[in-house]
Structure 1
Amino acid sequence: MFNKILIANRGEIALRVIRAAREMGIASVAVHSTADSDAMHVRMADESVCIGPPSGTESYLSIPAIMAACEVTGAEAIHPGYGFLSENAQFVQIVQDHGLTFIGPTAEHIRIMGDKITAKDTMKELGVPCVPGSDGGVPTLDEARSLAADMGYPVIVKATAGGGGRGMKVAQSAADLDMAFQTARSEAKAAFGNDEVYIEKYLTTPRHIEIQVFGDGKGRAVHLGERDCSLQRRHQKVFEEAPGPSISTDDRARIGQICADAVARINYAGAGTIEFLYEKGEFYFIEMNTRLQVEHPVTEGIFGVDLVREQIRVAAGLPMSFSQDDLQINGHAIEVRINAERLPNFSPCPGKISAYHAPGGLGVRMDSALYDGYSIPPYYDSLIAKLIVHGRDRTEALARLNRALGELIVDGIDTTVPLFHALLEEVDIHKGDYNIHWLERWLETNMADA
């Protein structure tokens, strides 16, 4: 087992890893920018190293600075959290070339799944169902028109190197395709330095379902059920739950086993998430995230496992501590992402926290790096907290979420907490009757003039 690991991240996910390491008797090293010198992850770690100025490019994305921090502290392994360098294959290769351990999958697996077309081709070969679409990149508008006509409208144009909703445009008809194609390419070039796009059939009322998988890198893998992440704004998830209210026991077992078998066949190591669109009982692969997900706590809630601890164990060469038969769903869990944003426009709202009180009680978990007097810097993602609740069933989990939101105090800034209070008044939310378009439409009706 490792004696010391470095966490190449910040905020609540850095704290999450520090806590798991401490329970395992492993020393932790926090890295931070000058803007994060008083951050909670810096205070909680056993050691800390400043790696650069506020800009993420010059600090949390600086591979030389992070490698230097490992050298001066004697860290043996690096946990990337999520975001930043967590899915950067070059970084993983450099870590390995320096004789250190990357707590996550191999550089090769990250490369394969990081390119949407290669990932889709790989998943097809592994027997994972995929959305009908082009077999590769679509270089010209004429080819796009031909493919879309064969496929039938609506279609969606996607950047091959995309993520976070950028480089994605829907064409409802042939008249929309020219603009969608050109805009997606322009956005992809600006965001990712790569303007290659591909085309898929656009499903009209799907849910966003993701399967949590975990492999030991030696041909053994399990699935930990699904999470429903359908409540999204601009392709960004805001509310996640497990198990999915629309998924039957048979469908869960079927798609879960397909995913576990797929990652086992490629000797995948560590945590991963295979994401699908789900419509009319069918699953369609969209991408695989080769890292821990923001919403991993809801899976931990219903299975009673520590996914970060398991990541560290497998990276150290130990076997997984559970088998598929050990993984039995217990109750229901929900997570809401609380951002420092001003409604109704969701504009960033950094600032100083004048008062903070985290909710508590049975079945309530608060993953956050906030504290009284903390100044949220304006340089990073606006996510400031994740409120996770667990109940014996979905009804109890929703009631517990409502109660916990009422206890939460975050003064000094605006947050998205009022959004969740409002959502919990909606019948569709209580019935679990929503798809990936539901929240955007609700916002247009309920918050356009708020």
Structure 2
Amino acid sequence: MAIQKVLVANRGEIAIRVFRTLKEMGVKSVAVYSDADKKARFYQLADEAYCIGGITSRESYLVQEKIFEVAEKSGCDAIHPGYGFLSENAAFAKACAERGLIFIGPKPDVIQALGDKIEARKIAIKANLPIASGTEGSIENLQEASQVAEKVGFPVLIKATAGGGGKGMKKVESKELFASSFNAARNEALAAFGDGRVYIEKYLENPRHVEIQILCDSYGNGAYLFERECSIQRRHQKVIEEAPSSILTPDMRQEMGECALRIAKEVGYENAGTVEFLVDKHRKFYFLEVNTRLQVEHPVTEMITGIDLVREQVKIAQGEPLSFTQDDLQIMGHSIECRIYAEDSENFMPSTGVVPHYVEPNGFGIRTDSAIQSGSEISMYYDPMIAKLVVWDKNRESAILKMRRALSEYEIAGVDTTIPFCQFALRHEAFCSGEFDTHFIQNFYFNREKAPLGEKQSAVAAIAAAIFQAKQNGAAQETQKNTSSRVCSSWEKRKMMR
């Protein structure tokens, strides 16, 4: 059945990214937006848009009934969940099917099975994937857990069976610290996911985070679209990704890809997904988890393969077979993505405020997925990611140079961003040589020598200060009319003091 109209149950840059492919396919799009997003740009790019009220995500984008009410009112026949929010919610996918809506993603039972890390680990074992030593199931008894940890050997990881993002995960260096870490992990997991179950896994020294993109249709066809290197992280969240990885050999790439397809076949996987692995310092890889959705970093895969992953998602969802085979795929050049967060790059804490000045870089091989413009507001209610800056070039060295140039042209005033961190990383010897791991920030960034403010940054700061002063003057006049004045953001304060 050809899909005619799709509701995108998401916001921001991922909503826009899906809208664009739908438009190219001749498919109508429907947006939903919260009260907090009434002035946002993203929903204006859809064919139809409906306000679902609420300020926080729990009052809006996570309320399934509000999504279904709009789907019925607008006459949608499918829902694309994007990433985050309801994208890995098995109950939501099941409710879509019960209402006659096509969920553009895996089947509910697959989401359920792979979303539970313990179940996913068991499935990986059955599919003969390499896994790090540890418990096969969750463990609740402290004494038993401590014995397992000693047998596995410290350091170990205590990990929540549900959720992600580093919540409910604790690294334990010694037996003396195990009890407090075990209890802390369980409490954190319960608070974050409503599920306090945890399991134990051997901690891998100097790990690299490498993931494999897969696409599978309903006819038993599947393909892996090579790998993404995702080791540059803060608080277990990715900041810089690239494809392909600098450490994989052709044989290792094929082996990891075949592992990814085996676990997919084991559960009858359909649509797009990502199988994640950790690679140790000896270049041995171990299964980590499966993300049953489109990934934030999917553009780098699109850049090196020439395949629109959202288009493939829609085609699979409407019953079409894969439009290519594994043999048709080849790696073309190199791509790097920098996530531009509204965060203080000194400590990666969120930064909120209005963005009075915004200019994106451009040129051959540069792609910016964003949902803001000059005048947009970065609020406290949602994820602080402003944009994904993606570059492509013929090889890794050229891609690094292109990303440096693109970062130098990016102008964002009004809030702090992670651009300074990205610039640091793209110039660091460890990154440029490809010899880094998931501890890059701790090992290199927090111990760096801080450089003085550059000419480009000074110019942007001056613009921000001028805009701010003009707004302050206008706000002062408005105050006389009993209206509130604008508050200076932390970014502007620091730049004006320099």
Q: Distance in 1 between matches of 2:163 and 2:64?
A: 22
> Quick check: 1:27 aligned with 2:23?
no
Alignment check: 8 A CA contact 2:103 2:317 kept: yes
* 2:160 matched residue in structure 1: 159
Q: How does 1:215-254 map to 2 (within 5 A)?
A: 215-254=216-255
Report the 3-state secondary structure (helix = DSSP H, G, I; strand = E; otherwise coil) of the residue aligned with 2:320: coil
Pairwise CA distance, 1:446: 2.5
Q: Distance in 2 between matches of 1:162 and 1:75?
A: 29
Pairwise CA distance, 1:147: 0.4
* 1:370 matched residue in structure 2: 372
Q: How does 1:36-435 map to 2 (within 5 A)?
A: 36-279=37-280, 280-435=282-437
> TM-score with structure 1 length normalisation?
0.98
Q: How does 1:4-19 map to 2 (within 5 A)?
A: 4-19=5-20
Pairwise CA distance, 1:266: 2.6
Report the 3-state secondary structure (helix = DSSP H, G, I; strand = E; otherwise coil) of the residue aligned with 1:194: coil
> TM-score with structure 2 length normalisation?
0.89
Pairwise CA distance, 1:108: 0.4
Pairwise CA distance, 1:424: 2.2
Alignment check: 8 A CA contact 1:231 1:438 kept: yes
Q: Distance in 1 between matches of 2:86 and 2:263?
A: 25
The one-letter code of the counterpart of 1:87 is E
The one-letter code of the counterpart of 2:443 is R
Q: Distance in 2 between matches of 1:244 and 1:380?
A: 30
Tell which deviates more after alignment, 124-133 or 300-309: 124-133
Question: Per-residue CA shift, 1:260-281, capped at 9, x if unaligned?
Answer: 2331343211110011111112
Pairwise CA distance, 1:342: 1.6
The one-letter code of the counterpart of 1:429 is F
The one-letter code of the counterpart of 1:311 is Q
Tell which deviates more after alignment, 103-112 or 338-347: 338-347
Alignment check: 8 A CA contact 1:219 1:265 kept: no
Q: Distance in 2 between matches of 1:23 and 1:162?
A: 34
Q: Distance in 1 between matches of 2:343 and 2:433?
A: 28
Report the 3-state secondary structure (helix = DSSP H, G, I; strand = E; otherwise coil) of the residue aligned with 1:386: strand
Alignment check: 8 A CA contact 2:221 2:321 kept: no
The one-letter code of the counterpart of 2:375 is G
Pairwise CA distance, 1:169: 0.5
- RMSD value, Cα: 1.3
Pairwise CA distance, 1:449: 12
Q: Identity, % of aligned pairs?
A: 47
Tell me the number of residue pairs that the alignment of Structure 1 and Structure 2 aligns.
450
Runs of 4+ in 1 over 4 A off after TM superposition: 447-450
Q: Distance in 2 between matches of 1:345 and 1:328?
A: 39
Structure in which a larger fraction of residues adopt strand:
1
Q: Distance in 1 between matches of 2:163 and 2:58?
A: 19
Alignment check: 8 A CA contact 1:169 1:184 kept: yes
Q: Distance in 2 between matches of 1:224 and 1:447?
A: 39
Pairwise CA distance, 1:409: 1.1
Question: Per-residue CA shift, 1:83-116, capped at 9, x if unaligned?
Answer: 0000000000100000010000000010001110
Q: Distance in 2 between matches of 1:206 and 1:281?
A: 9
Report the 3-state secondary structure (helix = DSSP H, G, I; strand = E; otherwise coil) of the residue aligned with 1:161: coil
The one-letter code of the counterpart of 1:56 is S
**Cα–Cα, structure 1 residues 102 and 447, in superposed 2: closer, same or farther, change >3 Å?**
farther
Q: Distance in 2 between matches of 1:326 and 1:396?
A: 25
Report the 3-state secondary structure (helix = DSSP H, G, I; strand = E; otherwise coil) of the residue aligned with 1:335: strand
Report the 3-state secondary structure (helix = DSSP H, G, I; strand = E; otherwise coil) of the residue aligned with 2:288: strand
Structure 1: which 5+ runs fail to align? none
Q: Distance in 1 between matches of 2:357 and 2:278?
A: 40
Report the 3-state secondary structure (helix = DSSP H, G, I; strand = E; otherwise coil) of the residue aligned with 2:285: strand
Report the 3-state secondary structure (helix = DSSP H, G, I; strand = E; otherwise coil) of the residue aligned with 2:388: strand
Alignment check: 8 A CA contact 1:344 1:447 kept: no
Q: Distance in 1 between matches of 2:361 and 2:421?
A: 17
